Amino acid sequence: MALDKDTVRRIARLARIEVADDQLEGLAGELSNILGWIEQLSEVPTENVAPMTSVVAVVLPMREDAVTDGGYPDEILRNAPAGGKGFFQVPKVVE
Amino acid sequence: MTALNELTLAQARDALAKGATSSAELTETHIRAAESARPLNAFITETFERAAEMAKASDARRKSGGAGIVEGLPLAIKDLFCTAGILTTAGSRILDGFTPPYESTVTANLWREGGVLLGKTNLDEFAMGSSNMTSHYGAVENPWAREGDNRPLVPGGSSGGSAALVAARAALGATGTDTGGSIRQPAAFCGIVGMKPTYGRCSRWGTVAFASSLDQAGPLTRSVRDAAIMLRAMAGHDPKDSTSVPEPVPDYEATLRDGVKGMTIGIPKEYVLEGMPPEIEVLWQQGIAWLRDAGATTKEISLKHTKYALPTYYIVAPAEASSNLARYDGVKYGLRVEGGELTEMYEKTRGQGFGAEVRRRVLIGTYVLSAGYYDAYYIKAQKLRTLIADDFKAAYESVDAILTPTAPSAAFAQGEKMDDPIAMYLNDVFTVPASLAGLPGISVPAGLSAEGLPLGLQVLGRAFDEATMFRVAQVLEDAAGFDAEPAFVAGR
């Protein structure tokens, strides 16, 4: 599956990763190469195979719907690049 | 009298129990050893003052009668495990300055059992790689060198720093994580033991996530016994990780020497690769002979979807990574690159914070999960995963364990295999299938290449049957008598 520059630009947008224009061509080549290699999976018939949904045979365990953690906002905010007064601060979201 | 840092973890444990040495002395020796190993660039963060304090506390605990499974033993921790109050980077610029307010369950278990923290080890960025060349903190050097060649070699990856330190005798043991081979392959490249437990055996809580259905913590050590000891300390059910399984953790050390008499060992014919160096095939045959000599039967088995395991992995793992790495956005922790508005901040932060390999994988993952491609790629890969797991299930109806080489080559030079990502991915060809099936695997150093570099043999076990896997590994270790040493050994 060959990817072109525009597709890479779109995927980079979806992934929220800035890619410089002059890097798009090279990246398209690399990703196309990898996807081309992956293409071989289509050789395997899988019409009657269920996709794996769990690696181990466990049922998701449930717990009491009770508050058991929290109440230390200072610790949570300690690594914040910007904030204060109990909030994480981000650039204004423009409508 | 063996230097304290050249003892195995088990020998050091016994010396401490007898009173022949103290944790303070043992740790001091390891701090000196770690300092002398600095050229390897194996540590991202050294915690020597803390180590000395922990050692002192351990000696005091021992005096009053308490001694945990790894009491007083200096260990190195891959910088993918959150350690409270200590910088944790995942080898990435995007976690610049991140100091977790909590401790991962696996490391909390080790400290509860008396372990001493030497430092946080270098790794491929976000555990993505098999050479430790993708770390924001620079490459790690393998303490081994080719005969007559002084070019620095890779230690393997992603747990390259952990493997290099243990091989260099600068740590008694180290933790790693293994998603597609990131413990087993560097263990093979560095001539040490490394194992990945069954998925669900160790808790993933507090471990920076790469691919949540594949990641598993495990030990890197200089002997099979050491790995058995460390795993027992690390493993166990954790209510905070819903994928950790409430299976009791056996005393792996107790059954280590039960042997392999009467066992049947499977030899998968699809693991013979075109272009594989003949010396690896020879070593594999040698391993088969060793197991037969010890009373096991060996038989050829077919894991017929083996060749599709790597491409399957390179859909599943990047897809899960693209989801797990979405949290790195400059908002809550780590690097923030200012942007005019929010989306720009996200894009610039992630564009500058992620390295090239991480970016490649996140983009592949985003693509294969995107509308219109999800069925063709991701669902297809999950079906292949079922087939690969079923291959193993069928095989285990007639065998108790499986023997394969660990890696398709010995350690290569830094800078090699960097032109084509797929050339690097092929390092994991023997380790990835067991990861996809969630099965336990161990690499044991078994011989040397023509250039004098270590080669490993891999044993795979049934789910939650690490005990059998360890028994087979012990027989291999005894038979191999691997006593070659790297060019650099700390303290000499």
Tell me if B85 is assigned to some domain: yes
Tell me if B22 is assigned to some domain: yes
Predicted local confidence at residue A54, as pLDDT: 87
Determine the distance in angstroms separating the CA of A79 from the nearest CA of chain B, rounded to an integer: 5
Give the β-pairing of B441-448 and B454-461.
Answer: antiparallel
CA atoms within 13 A on the CB side of B53: 5
When divided into structural domains, chain B yields a total of: 1
Distance CA A31, CA A27 (A): 6
- The closest alpha carbon to B127, from B217, B41, B34, belongs to B217
CB burial class (10 A; 0-12, 13-18, 19+) of residue B424?
buried
Domain CATH number, residue B70: 3.90.1300.10
Asked if residue B464 has pLDDT above 90, the reply is yes
- The closest alpha carbon to B91, from B132, B51, B141, belongs to B132
Predicted local confidence at residue B340, as pLDDT: 86
From chain A, pick out residues whose CB is under 8 angstroms from the CB of B419. none
Looking at residue B126, what DSSP letter applies? G
* pLDDT tens column, B242-257: 999 999 999 999 999 9
From chain B, pick out residues whose CB is under 8 angstroms from the CB of A16. 326, 329, 343, 346-347, 350
* pLDDT tens column, B121-144: 999 999 999 999 999 999 999 999
Pick the catalytic residue: B92, B135, B158, B322?
Answer: B158
Q: Does B155 touch chain A (CB under 8 A)?
A: no
Tell me if B315 is assigned to some domain: no
Predicted local confidence at residue B199, as pLDDT: 97
Looking at residue B430, what DSSP letter applies? T
DSSP per-residue string spanning B297-341: EEEEE--TTGGGHHHHHHHHHHHHHHHHGGG-SSSSSS-----SS
Q: Is the peptide bond before B36 cis (omega within 30 degrees of 0)?
A: no
Tell me if B357 is assigned to some domain: no
Contact assessment for residue B271 and residue B302, using Cβ atoms and an 8 Å cutoff:
no
B363:A55 CB<8 A? no
Predicted TM-score (pTM) of this structure: 0.97
Q: What is the mean pLDDT of residues B146-172?
A: 97
The interface predicted TM-score of the complex, written ipTM, equals 0.95
In three-state secondary structure terms, B355 is coil
Tell me if B14 is assigned to some domain: yes
Provide the number of CB pairs (under 8 Å) joining chain A to chain B: 158
Asked if residue B387 has pLDDT above 90, the reply is yes
B314:A12 CB<8 A? no
Tell me if B405 is assigned to some domain: no
Predicted local confidence at residue B51, as pLDDT: 98
Nearest CA in chain A to B308: A41
Q: What percent of chain B has pLDDT over 90?
A: 95
Q: Does B304 touch chain A (CB under 8 A)?
A: no
Tell me if B348 is assigned to some domain: no
Tally of CB atoms within 10 A around A87: 11
- The closest alpha carbon to B396, from B445, B356, B425, B438, belongs to B438
- The parent domain of residue B189 ranges over 6-255
Contact assessment for residue B406 and residue B431, using Cβ atoms and an 8 Å cutoff:
yes
* pLDDT tens column, B397-438: 999 999 999 999 999 999 998 888 888 889 899 999 999 999
Average pLDDT of chain B is 97
Tell me if B61 is assigned to some domain: yes
Contact assessment for residue A83 and residue A91, using Cβ atoms and an 8 Å cutoff:
no
- The closest alpha carbon to B215, from B226, B229, B228, B200, belongs to B200
